[in-house]
Structures are given as structure tokens and as C-alpha cells.
Amino acid sequence: MLRPRQSSKGMYQRRSTPRITATRGWREDNTSRGSEAGVPGDGSWNGTVDGEESSEDANRGGGSFEAEGRARYGLRALRNRGWDWGVRAWRGEGGVGLLLAEEDASIFELTTIAACESIEASILDAVKTIPPTTLYKLPNLRSQTLTLRAAIRMNPVLLSSLADCAAIEARRRDHVFIQRSGPDAFAPNPKYPKLPKGFAFDWKTFKEKYPVKSFVPLPSDPVTRLPRVQHVFSDEAFKGILSRQKPRQEAVKQSFIRAWDAYRSYAWMRDEVTPITKGSYDSFGGWAATLVDSLDTLWIIDLKDEFHEAVRAVANIDFTTTETEEINVFETTIRYLGGLLSAYDLSGEQSLLTKATELGNILYAAFDTPNRMPVTHWKIHSAFLGLEQEASGVCLLAEVGSLTMEFTRLSQLTKDPKWYDAVHRIIKILEERQSKTKLPGMWPLVLDARTQNFEGQVHAFTLGAMADSLYEYMPKMHALLGGVDGMYERMYKDAMAVVAKHILYRPMVPDNADILISGKVTMNVNGDVELDAEGQHLVCFAGGMFALGSRLFDIPAHMDIARKLTDGCIWAYNATPSGMMPEVFHMVPCPASEPCMWDESRYKEAVVAAHANSVFLPDDKQGDKNNSAEAIIARERLPKGIKSIEDRRYILRPEAIESVFILYRITGRTELLDTAWDMFTAIEEMTKAPFGNAALNDVTVPRGTAGDAPLSNRMESFWLAETLKYFYLMFSDPSLVSLDEYVFNTEAHPFRRKKG
């Protein structure tokens, strides 16, 4: 899911918005990892993180950057990209500076208010303080927005202003991560006027500028009798196995109840509860994201009283108003619309379909553009006021291509084809361009929805963040439509042939396990495919996707791929001291045509090469000894087989248990029950917080140290909507939400399938 799933979900991830922090990180010597910015003299940096002010002495040494001789800023470069990905700001005599870094960031919007003599944006080389590449230098900015575009997985970007700006604001998705302001408040941008607090939109009065004259109807052909998906669990031996899962099922339920009670007590009708401080946080429009996202889980785990209380609360959600200037259409669709539709499919509560239709009508206005491509990051206030809209020139693949299931299900339930028409137009464009990209069969991570040009500056291809749910939805849409449209089967087969050839790789691991990891490829200037042997927690959904595709399309080889991909994610869980997989890491790929046997020397060489650009702190006195493989492995706490960890967090993600669950339901492999239990107990032990569960900042912290584990004060809604749902279903009777009756969206919301 981008699981954007920040949302996926990610910056641009399925299901999730990766948190950009400005707080101190954890390191083995317990020193700060979070103050890379330094200013000679009076410097201190200030950041706004989730609405909380954070400041720290930044008068430190370690390198400097001089902008046109006008302002000097010291940057302390930490070894091996050791900082917390985030935003740093500082003020000096010459102006304001920002350091932006995020593991998947490709786009930042920089807004300057009042006059700045100039703004310069430079890419830093790894963690060095030398800015070799200037992206932009714009003079005389005043109340303007600058969009930074750089290669995916860009190195940190340094923004520096010459002369004093009243403010600099950096945005990504729905959040303002850092804000430096002078005495004057921000002036509203005249193009996107700010409406009074509490102003409600009457969307019934909304007039489209580019109405559709003829809708593409829902397929009316008789539903095809699709192959059985779920394993037949009927033998007596299995009944005994199932009875032994009851305590495990109950443990998952109690974890859900504890987190739900915390949300109900301290963040009711807000988007999230903060699990450490028992506060609240609005991350997705302020429309009670956790409540709506958790509706179907409440029903599934048989908390019917809590479900009906939540349904009554949903009636009071006003989707016609929000204090958020810009909403993410993808995240709103998969969490809110998907949650409402799924809860209706399970319970039959008519008020939920009514609410889903209300939200669907609002989201439909995001498609009111000249080419009917949606505005994915949508200035909802401007739309209501009738200002001109057009799709963005920089769109993430998953965000524009992963609205199909929710919009199609809404059309199926309401018999109104307009939502199906809206997403069908997008998929037809993707189908037509599939064979014409730089890597035919797949689509690049970023596309220009305004011109429908897929040949932009970014030529990266992956099943991971920013692309994931587009591919995930291909077999799922085939199932949802009852197999009556062969388009999704063709697109899936063409894409997965390329994935199997270029994206999947065999990692070299100490036990020589027969596993696969899904990486990423880029096209170099000569048109050659270059593999980036990374691993992402987000891409663990792929095992379940291949398993479903194998069953629906009768491709036995895909079941073998599904097993190896899922086993690869299980391996990554087992490899870390905490028992959880990191967000992003890199491994050593084996040559495709050679045996994949462990080679200690080759592994150590890869570790050293991966850390070649490390910059050591001044207090590192060991010289070349710090560059040895043994020193790097010990210092970075690298599990053997992993050569580098770019993002050490586990943010309560569901993708690994999602594939374990789907593979178990499809194959009947009972050993996966113990695998799932091991995963759950590790997660529960290490992420348990006073008021729910909290994201873990470093998965290399060993189990048994839970009280000292570095936690973040976030519990995204997908913990209740997805992760705990999959764990609960894992230990339940397989007839509960059967894969032959339901198909899950990328937020784990089950939609009822059409039956033949």
C-alpha cells in the first residue's frame, strides 16, 4: 500500500505517511543523532514536528557550507547516513537554512513568505558537506511556491536563503514539517484562499467545469466462474490445530481492545491517538481516520457494541469541511471510503453506504480537470470555490492508479457508473502506455498526469513505495469484477513477467535460504537496467499478490515466487534482534545464473563498499579501524546478510503478516501459524506503549529491552485497520472473511466479491 500505503501506506508510500522527525535519535553511545545543523555564534535550530516545538543547541563543528560568500552554515555530517531522516532548520546572520531528507522523498514544496534575496537548493553528496549539484537558484521570491524535483531516493537537500526571509515553509503530503517565521504571520496564497474555520461546503451545489458526457458503464457480462482461491480446510487434523489457535486469537483481540480503548478515551473523533502521551493527532483531514479505518475490524473481531457506537459516531463526521488545506485523495480513498464500504459489506448498515456515497461525491470533484485525471494532492477549498483545477505534472504512480477498487465498489453498490468511469479512464491510459515505457511492462514511479507523459526525469521501477498498490490491485480488480474484464489479467501478466526478470533478486544469506527480495531498478543513460538490491517492508505485500495471481490466473510458477518472497520477509524478521524487519535496507544479490551460496569475504566487501561515503565524527580516534567490515557491522548492528540499513524503524506495518495470512489461506501451510505468532509476540513486546502501540525507531535493539526501546509517539490507523486484523484472521476459522467471498483493498478492507 505507497501502503503513500507516508500512505503506502509512505512520503509517497502505500498506507502510511513516514514521519519526518526533528527529534534526537538513538545510537549505541546514546549521543544525539539529530542535530546536524550548526551555526557559528548564536545558532540554534527550531523545528515543528507534529505540532510540537523542538529546539536544540546547534553550535557544533564539523564542516561548513558557504552560499555565495554571504552566509556560512556549519553542518555536522554523521557517519553512514546516521541521522534520523528529517527536516533541520537553523538561523544565522545571513538568513534561514533548511536541510531536507527523507528516504523516499522526490518532491518537496518550498514556500517563502516575504522577500528573500535568493533561495538556493543543493543536493548534498551522501552525508558530506560539499554541495556539488545546484538544482535551483531563484531570485526575489515573494509568496511563491517552489517544487523541488530530484531523483527518487535523493541525497539530502540543502536549502539556504541569502538575506533574511520572514519565513520558509516545507511541505510534503498533508503535513507542514518545518516552519520558520518572522514577526508577521503567513499571508494566504491568493490562488488557494483560506476559508474561515468551520466553513462547510455544500457539495450538492458544486458545478463541474469538465463534466463527463457519456459514462463507461460497469461491465454487464455474466460473472465468470473464477477458480477457487482458498485452501479447503476440512480435515479433522486441522480442527485440532484450529482449537489451539484460540489463545493466540484472544491475545490479538486484547491488543486491539487496549489500543481501541485508548483511542476512544483520548482521541475520539480525531485521526489518531498518540500512544505515549495520550494526546491526539490529525493526519488525514481530521475526519476520525482511526475510527473509520477500524470499523470492519470491530465487526470481524466481534466487538459489536463498539461497532454500533462507532457507526453512530460516523454519522456525525462532516466530510464537507476540513481545516486541512490540501487532502491526499489516495489516502482518503483507501482509508475512509474503503473503510465505510467494507463495514457496509460486512454489516449491511445502510448509514455507512450513505456516508460512503457522500464522501464519494466529494472525491469525484477531484477529477474535474480538463483531461479527467485526478488532482491527487487536492486543494479542496479551491475546488469548492470554483477555481480552475488541473492534474499535477508530478504524480506518484500508486496515488493516481490505486483508486480503482474503492470507486468500483461504490459504483457496484449504488448502481451509479460515474465512479467506475472515473478510474476506468485512468487504467485505460496505463494499459495503453504499459508497453511504451523505458522498462516495457512496468510504469515509472512518477508520471505527468497533466500531459499524460510517462517519460519524465525519474526512470525508477519497483513494486515498493510509490508504486505498490497499482500492481496489487490488478488481480484484486479481476476478482472484484468477477473476471468479466480481461484487461487486469493482461496487465498483471505483462507486469509480473518484467518483475520476475528484473526486480526480484536472490539475496546471499548465511543459511543459504532459498528466498527472494523485491528490489528496485533504474535505467541508466545507456538504457541499461541497474538493480538496486534494497528491501522495503512495504513491498512484503508482493508475496500475497503473487499467490492470489497464481490462483486466479492459473500460473503455478507464481505460487513458488509467492512462497520465496514471503519467506524472504520472514527471514528479515528473524534476522534482527527485535524480531522485526526494518523499513529500508540493502542486501548482497547473487548472480542470476550462479548458485547462491554464502561467501563471508564477499559479504564483508559489500559492507565496506556500502559505507564508503561514511563521515566519522571528530571523536572517532580509531582511523582506518573504523572502516573495517567488523567495525562497521558492530557499530551499525548489522544482521549478517544485510549490508546496510537505511531506515531502522518498524512503524506497525502490516505487509509482512498480510502475505503470511494470504499464503496460509491459499496453501494451508500450517507452519505459518507459528511464524505469525512469533511475529506478533515480537511486535507486541517491543511496541507496547502506555496508550496503545507505538512505532519502534530501531529494530536492531534486542528483545528483552522493551522498556528502553526507542519509540515514536505515533500509532497510525493501519495498526488497527490492517496489522491486527490480519493477525486476528490468521488465528481464526478460515471461513471468517473467506478469500472466495471477499477481496481486500490495500488498507485491508474486505469488499464482497461478485459471485458467478
Residue 549's Cβ-side half-sphere holds a number of Cα atoms within 13 Å equal to 30
DSSP H or E segment with residue 603: helix 600-610
69 Cα distance to chain centroid: 40
Let me know if 331 is a catalytic residue: yes
| String of DSSP letters for 325-384 | SEEEHHHIIIIIIHHHHHHHHHH--HHHHHHHHHHHHHHHGGG-STT----SEEEHHHHH
> Among candidates 597, 515, 519, 595, which has minimal Cα distance to 563?
515
Binding-site residues, in ranges, read 746
Contact in structure between 401 and 215 (CB atoms under 8 Å): no
Contact in structure between 366 and 384 (CB atoms under 8 Å): no
CA dist., res. 724 & res. 521, Å (int): 32
Characterise 482 by phi-psi region: left (phi > 0), alpha (psi -120 to 50), beta (else): left
Binding-site residues for Ca(2+), in ranges, read 746
CA dist., res. 742 & res. 495, Å (int): 24
527 Cα distance to chain centroid: 29
Of the candidates 174, 293, 349, 468, the residue annotated as catalytic is 468
Cell, residue 134: 545546484
Let me know if 655 is a catalytic residue: yes
CB atoms inside a 10 Å sphere around CB 745: 28
Let me know if 325 is a catalytic residue: no
Of the candidates 174, 272, 331, 345, the residue annotated as catalytic is 331
Question: Which residue type is seen at 724?
Answer: L
Cell, residue 349: 448498515
Which residue bears the cell 482458498? 230
Rg of the chain, C-alpha, whole Å: 25
CA dist., res. 686 & res. 707, Å (int): 8
Length of the chain: 756
CB atoms inside a 10 Å sphere around CB 41: 9
Cell, residue 224: 465468470
Characterise 617 by phi-psi region: left (phi > 0), alpha (psi -120 to 50), beta (else): beta
Bridge partners, residue 178, by sequence: 170
Cα separations (Å) of 209 from 370, 393, 416?
8, 20, 20
Query: Going by C-beta distance under 8 Å and a sequence separation of 6 or more, which residues neighbour residue 454?
Result: 433, 436, 437, 443, 444, 447, 448
Of the candidates 583, 658, 722, 747, the residue annotated as catalytic is 583
Query: Going by C-beta distance under 8 Å and a sequence separation of 6 or more, which residues neighbour residue 574?
Result: 678
> For residue 314, what is the DSSP state?
H
**Dihedral, CA atoms, 404, 203, 369, 146, nearest 10 degrees?**
-100
Contact in structure between 736 and 729 (CB atoms under 8 Å): yes
DSSP H or E segment with residue 250: helix 246-266
Of the candidates 104, 306, 472, 655, the residue annotated as catalytic is 655
The angle subtended at Cα 755 by Cα 753 and Cα 756, nearest 5°, is 145
Contact in structure between 25 and 6 (CB atoms under 8 Å): no
Residues annotated as catalytic are: 331, 468, 583, 655
